[in-house]
Chains A and B, each alone.
Chain A
């Protein structure tokens, strides 16, 4: 049976698997692999996502060329209908792969009707009022976040623990297997395992969507998915029609083949995902898809009540969750190049790409630090990871340019925050012993942390020269390496705090050399 299925894999199913593989490959490639630029990243999928593009447009009220692929998807949807869901969407493909193994009960009543509009419209409404929440419910973002925050670290940690376990058993004898492990480590595994806040929620959202398959096939896609709903609204204009438009009186098998749209006698046009299952499986080969002018223009939007309600609730969503704890604000550090918090919230689609690619795992999803509206936006947590001075990866993978893609010379001058020394904890101040690990690690060519020397009586009672660090705020970019490496346990004695004025430092006067004329390999 399985063999037969494999043999007869149809074009749409092949296409789905191809895109799923591509998606996973791009996900794994969203990582530093020895080159300053990542040319291919999952952000290609995000940049083709019309929901993210729509919310960006509404929030930012301008267009960015980054989102051009999404405009193309809209055009194709106008012509072909919701083909994206049946041919491309990797989450849809995952659902198709698991749904055959899930026994179905009756569809959930409360999900039918206008629920999906109640999800989509508040998202669009909130965007209009400057809060871009699209990524919270975007299917691609849900998938990437489940992978980034939960499944990928889990995989990495499990394999790595196994490898460490082998060392405990075999010692250096493990080296025999090293080349094989190196392959996996270099091409499949995350470079280092990081556990993220919201890992559980991210996985739960994904598993919840899988769980809905218990009730009907593609339950998420037809009842909830805001991207699918948006594409469905566009698809109503598509001139590509299924013929016949209704079930045939003598058969009606389509109802069981169709994953989404035969709730009644007639095909729901905004829900047909063009998967071609009906056409491929029809015993009589009666079914075709033809281009024809739409006979009857159906209303594009749901009832006025839902439309208005959706927009109003978007307004509330954007305004009522503004509350922010002031002391949490002091530590809201955004990725490098983000100069304005409001603009960032309008542009960030919470896809998780920057957190996936971050070289030192410095970025983590916000929970409530930036108010509820900021959930899943990236925050720099220097004690866990710092921003690498010459790395520009987060800007490169950001699909909307919320984190700008800057040349490395410019990025090195972008201000994330400013470091502050806590003299009650800092060893030279608090305990008269030398340290200045922070000064050692400060990457600024002129050092933003310097030290003053002072003669004191040391621990052993003998006079020693003590070096007391201080921060030159004008030179500090807030990369956080000082906070990261401060050897004091627990709380660091030097911490980076947010600043409103993130004007970049003036260009460094000294020569940093150009790699072009470097004579070295």
Chain B
């Protein structure tokens, strides 16, 4: 190759690298669907179809993992766990799109049995053929090299890693350390080991994990949100009913938008900022396409 050609290519390449591409396709920023309504199953279905329908993400024969927040022994109206009807609609959608199996699980903080029962998850998913609501089994965690800036490696849940499609279904709520807990933090539910120890550099650690374990789809349950005393709450006066479901293929965008529901700005939440800086998605609301459904 001639030196001149080489330099030309290098010059052009650097143009692309420094954000030419990003500004070139600015209009094509991530789509964030905001669906609203009182029937949470229907709202979720509407949000999904506005994104192009579940068939866009789930191919026939796929194994789909739906990862809600079932972390606490709280009832649905207390807004500490994902609403079971939202999860039910997501699981049903995946099945209808031809999923072979839909696995639903979370590594809980309180007793797993109580969490699964009192969150309403067991009742909501009962009798759905092809849907497994499973307790975490320790032997399924395996060490994964993350080579991240905060975490070199960590134990992640094998079923989440090996799934064809990972649908992240967090509930939007307050959190004492990270300000809010949304899609990025919900992925903590597939982490093994001593999770508490990552709290010292939680924003970077979550970016590291989300960079390796990518959510195909993030559906944030904001049907009711917990505005204080999170992540467990317990007091209904801290709960605000919004009847909204946010959906996006861009986890950072979904989180950033959900932040505004609390009257906060995306840059107020360290987790979102760290993920954005890591290039995991868009956090500027102005660069997103917000679709109401």
Quick one: given A515-B75, A520-B77, are A32 and B84 in contact (CB under 8 Å)? no
B283 at the interface (CB under 8 A from A): no
Say yes or no: is B221 at the interface (Cβ < 8 Å to chain A): no
A443 contacts the other chain (CB 8 A): yes
Contact B117 A427 (CB under 8 A): no
Q: Which of B54-89 contact A (CB under 8 A)?
A: 73, 75-78, 83-85
Which residues on B sit within 8 Å (CB–CB) of A34? 113, 117, 122
With a cutoff of 8 Å between Cβ atoms, the chain B residues found around residue A443 in the complex are: 110, 232, 234
From known contacts A427-B200, A441-B109, A447-B229, infer whether A487 and B194 are also in contact, taking CB-CB under 8 Å: yes
In the docked arrangement, what's the CA distance between A487 and B194, Å?
7
In the complex, whether B170 has a CB less than 8 A from a CB of chain A is no
Q: When the two chains form their complex, are residues B176 and A511 in contact, meaning their CB atoms are under 8 A apart?
A: no
A97 to chain B, nearest CB (A): 34
**Residue picked from A32, A360, A443, most chain B C-beta under 10 Å:** A443
Report the separation of the CA atoms of residues A32 and B201 in the bound assembly, to the nearest whole angstrom.
Answer: 37
Are B236 and A510 closer than 8 Å at their CB atoms?
Answer: yes
| CB proximity of B88 to chain A, nearest CB, Å | 9
Contacts of A295 in B (CB 8 A): none
User: Which residues of A have CB within 8 Å of B123?
Assistant: 521
A13 within 8 A of B: no
Q: How far is the CA of A390 from the CA of B113 in the complex (A)?
A: 12
Judge whether A440 and B236 touch: CB under 8 Å. Answer: no
Segment touching B, from A144-152, A164-172, A240-248, A344-352: A164-172
Question: B199 interface residue, CB < 8 Å from A?
Answer: yes
| Pick from A359, A440, A485, A520: contact of B84, CB under 8 Å | A520
B235 CB–A CB distance under 8 Å: yes
* Closest chain B residue, CB of each to CB of A445: B234
B231 proximal to A (CB < 8 A):
yes
Cα A518 to Cα B77 with chains together (Å): 7
| Cβ-closest chain B residue relative to A521 | B123
A211 at the interface (CB under 8 A from B): no
B111 at the interface (CB under 8 A from A): yes
> Does residue B120 face the partner (Cβ distance < 8 Å to A)?
yes
**Which A residues are CB-close (under 8 A) to B231?**
440
For A360, the chain B residues whose CB sits under 8 A away are 111
Proximity bits, B74-116, A CB within 8 Å = 1, else 0:
0111100001110000000000000000000000011101100
User: Of all chain A residues, which has the CB nearest B175?
Assistant: A440
Q: Mark A463-486 against chain B: 1 for CB-CB distance below 8 A, else 0.
A: 000010000000000000000011
What's the Cα separation between A485 and B111 when bound, in Å? 13
Within 8 A of B (CB), among A421-455: 427, 433-437, 439-447, 451
Shortest distance in angstroms between B57's beta carbon and chain A's nearest beta carbon? Answer: 22
CA distance A461 to B158 in the complex (A): 37
Contact with A520, one of B83, B138, B194, B237 (Cβ below 8 angstroms): B83
In the complex, the answer to whether A512 meets B235 with C-beta atoms within 8 Å is: yes
B177 near A440: Cβ-Cβ < 8 Å: yes
CA distance A508 to B234 in the complex (A): 11
In the complex, A191 has a CB within 8 A of chain B? yes
The residue that A434 contacts in the complex, of B118, B139, B200, B233, with Cβ under 8 A, is B200
Docked-complex contact B196 and A511, CB < 8 angstroms = no
> Given A359-B111, A520-B84, A436–B73 Cβ distance below 8 Å?
no
A43–B67 Cα gap in the complex (Å)? 39
Number of interface residues of A (CB under 8 A): 44
| A388: interface (CB < 8 Å) | yes
Least CB separation from A360: chain B residue: B111
CB distance from B265 to the nearest CB of A (A): 16
Interchain CA distance A487-B201 in the complex, whole Å? 13
Measured CB to CB, the nearest residue on chain B to A489 is B194
The reply to whether the CB of A126 lies closer than 8 angstroms to some CB of chain B is no
CA distance A197 to B77 in the complex (A): 41
A172 interface neighbour in B77, B109, B162, B202, Cβ under 8 Å: B162
Do residues A520 and B76 form an inter-chain contact, with CB atoms below 8 A?
yes
Contact with B along A29-66 (1 / 0, CB 8 A): 00010100000000000000000000000000000000
Which residue of chain A has the shortest Cβ distance to B38 in the bound complex? Answer: A519
Smallest beta-carbon distance A388→chain B, Å: 5
Contact, CB under 8 Å: B237 / A521 = no
Residue of A32, A172, A440 near B111 (CB, 8 A) is: A32
- Give chain B nearest CB distance to A297 CB in angstroms: 56
Enumerate chain A residues within 8 angstroms of B202, measured Cβ to Cβ: 434
Are A511 and B236 touching (Cβ within 8 A)? yes
Q: Are B78 and A451 in contact (CB-based, < 8 A)?
A: no
CB distance from B215 to the nearest CB of A (A): 21
Q: Is B152 an interface residue (CB 8 A)?
A: no
Tell me, yes or no, whether B18 is within 8 Å of chain A by CB. no
Is A195 positioned at the interface, with any CB of B under 8 Å from its CB?
no
CA distance A446 to B236 in the complex (A): 11
Quick check: A521 and B113 within 8 Å, CB to CB? no
A184 to chain B, nearest CB (A): 14
A391 at the B interface (CB under 8 A): yes
Residue of B118, B120, B124, B232 ringed by the most chain A CB atoms within 10 A: B232
Q: Which residues of A contact B78 (CB under 8 A)?
A: 512-513
Q: How far is the CB of A86 from chain B (nearest CB, A)?
A: 40
Contact pick for B234, options A427, A433, A512, CB 8 Å: A512
A196 CB–B CB distance under 8 Å: no
Nearest chain-A residue to B239 (Cβ)?
Answer: A513
With both chains docked as a complex, state the minimum distance between the C-beta of A309 and any C-beta of chain B, in angstroms. 49
Q: Please measure, in the bound complex, the distance between the C-alpha atom of A201 and the C-alpha atom of B180, giving whole angstroms.
A: 50
List, sorted by A's number, 25 A–B pairs whose CB atoms are closer than 8 Å. Answer: A32-B111, A32-B114, A164-B139, A167-B139, A172-B162, A359-B111, A388-B73, A388-B111, A388-B114, A390-B114, A391-B114, A427-B200, A434-B200, A436-B176, A440-B176, A440-B177, A440-B232, A441-B109, A445-B238, A467-B176, A487-B194, A518-B77, A520-B75, A521-B84, A521-B85
The 4 closest A-B pairs by CB, nearest first: A487-B196, A445-B234, A437-B196, A445-B235
Q: A32-B114, A390-B114, A434-B199 are in contact. List 8 more A-B contacts (CB 8 A).
A: A388-B114, A390-B73, A434-B202, A440-B231, A445-B233, A446-B235, A512-B235, A513-B78
Give the interface of B toward A (CB within 8 A): 73, 75-78, 83-85, 109-111, 113-114, 117-118, 120, 122-124, 137-140, 158, 162, 175-177, 194-197, 199-202, 229, 231-238
Which positions in A face B, CB cutoff 8 Å?
32, 34, 164, 167-168, 172, 191, 359-360, 388-391, 427, 433-437, 439-447, 451, 459, 467, 485-487, 508, 510-513, 515, 518-521
